[in-house]
Amino acid sequence: MAENAKPKTPLWMRVTLFVSVALNLLVVGAVAGFFVTSGPDKRSDRTRTDYGAFFMRALSDEDRRALRRDFEAGLQRQGRDRGAFVTELQSTLEILRATPFDRDAFITSVADQSRSRAEREELGKEVLVNRIVAMTDAERAAYADRLEERLRDIANRIRR
């Protein structure tokens, strides 16, 4: 054995680390999926600091409903539905519970969910931009005012 060879990390430690990271990604995906599938009207009115929610919460109720309809129509055009997220997670849970554990299947599943999330985010950006472009100058100014008010609230909370 060469003296410069690094000791190999035990397999159990690598698997534990990988599973921990993967589960964290699943939780993030589950939370994002909840917000996408439940819609902004079903959440509490707490201040959110992520960009998508920041821009969406400042829309009027009518614009949020229209945005949700446009988003769902976009999902249908992509051949997806709101239940696809749940199906993806259920598939991943089956992989996690399988014995023996199929590392490659798990990696593929997590990658597929990441890709799906990125596609949903892109679609969300697209429908938001289209909604804003369709606003009149007065509607867009009112929207900007609501964004500015939310930004002030967030900045005040950060300063505390």
pLDDT tens digit at each of 160 positions of the chain = 556 666 777 777 776 766 666 666 666 666 666 555 555 444 444 444 566 777 888 888 888 888 888 888 888 887 776 677 788 888 989 999 999 999 999 999 988 888 888 888 888 888 899 999 998 999 999 999 998 998 888 888 888 7
Instruction: Look at residue 101 and tell me if it is in a domain.
Output: yes
Look at residue 4 and tell me if it is in a domain. Answer: no
124 in a domain, yes or no? yes
> Which domain covers residue 143, as residue numbers?
47-153
Among all chains, which residue has been given the structure tokens 């410069």? Answer: 4
The number of folded domains in the chain is: 1
Residue 104, domain member (yes or no) = yes
Tell me whether residue 31 is in a domain: no
What is the pTM (predicted TM-score) of this model? 0.57
Please indicate, yes or no, if residue 77 is contained in any of the structural domains: yes
Separation between Cα atoms, residue 55 and residue 66, nearest integer Å: 14
Q: Is residue 56 part of a domain?
A: yes
